[in-house]
Structure 1
Amino acid sequence: MLNYKIQIKAFDGYILNISVIKIINYISKQNIKVNGPITLPTKKKIYTILRSPHVHKKSREQFKLYIHKRFVVVYNVKSKILKKMDLPSGVKLKLKKC
């Protein structure tokens, strides 16, 4: 039995919040102590692309990509329990022992 830090990432904040609630409900049904969710800063990446391939250098288009993150600490749990959770597509789960 170990303590784990769970970092959850997604491009959509709404899906991320739903999956964090699922994780906390699933773990709390197992009578395991949970601390969180803690909101981490959202990363924003901006990509600039030329609209025209030849001339018109001033004509550009920008795309923004937001990466939302949440953080949950789980106490005295087996790693097998955490790997059995089913999450929506687009949500990345990262486990760290502490």
Structure 2
Amino acid sequence: MADQQIIRIRLKSFDHRLIDQSTREIVETARRTGAQIKGPIPLPTRKERYTILTSPHVNKDARDQYEIRTHKRLLDIINPTDKTVDALMKLDLAAGVD
């Protein structure tokens, strides 16, 4: 196991459809160039909640709640070839995926 090279890719997005589409593109590209793939492994979704008072003066019971969900995926590419690395560098992912 020590002689294997592994590329670990972590993807993060607010939209789960964009991140799933991007992981499919990466998996197809890596398999087409002859590398082995482990994943995509879904990591826990982070939920940030914000509560804001709607009234500027009184009425503390009137509040709005907002939530931001951050979806994450993990991919391991095992024994990548030079073609795999070149293809992944040229791959253009969606704008909402980090």
Which TM-score band (shorter chain)? 0.7 to 0.9
Mapped partners of 1:75, 1:46: distance in 2: 37
Aligned counterpart, 2:89: 83
Aligned counterpart, 1:51: 54
Task: Look up the equivalent residue of 2:74 and give its one-letter code.
Answer: F
Instruction: Give the strand-richer structure, 1 or 2.
Output: 1
Considering Cα pairs closer than 8 Å and 6+ residues apart, tell me whether 1 or 2 has the greater RCO: 1
Asked whether the equivalents of residues 51 and 65 of structure 2 are also in contact (C-alpha less than 8 Å), the reply is yes
Describe the superposition over 1:5-62 as per-residue Cα deviations: whole angstroms up to 9, x where unpaired: 1111111111111111011001111111111111111111101111122222221100
Normalised by the size of structure 2, how large is the TM-score?
A: 0.82
Residue ranges of structure 2 left out of the alignment (5+ in a row): none
Identity %: 37
* Secondary structure class of the residue paired with 1:26: helix
Mapped partners of 2:68, 2:25: distance in 1: 25
Larger Rg: 2
Aligned counterpart, 1:31: 34
The CA RMSD measured in Å over matched residues stands at: 1.8
Aligned counterpart, 1:96: none
Shift of the alpha carbon at 1:85?
1.4
Mapped partners of 1:53, 1:23: distance in 2: 48
Instruction: Give the helix-richer structure, 1 or 2.
Output: 2
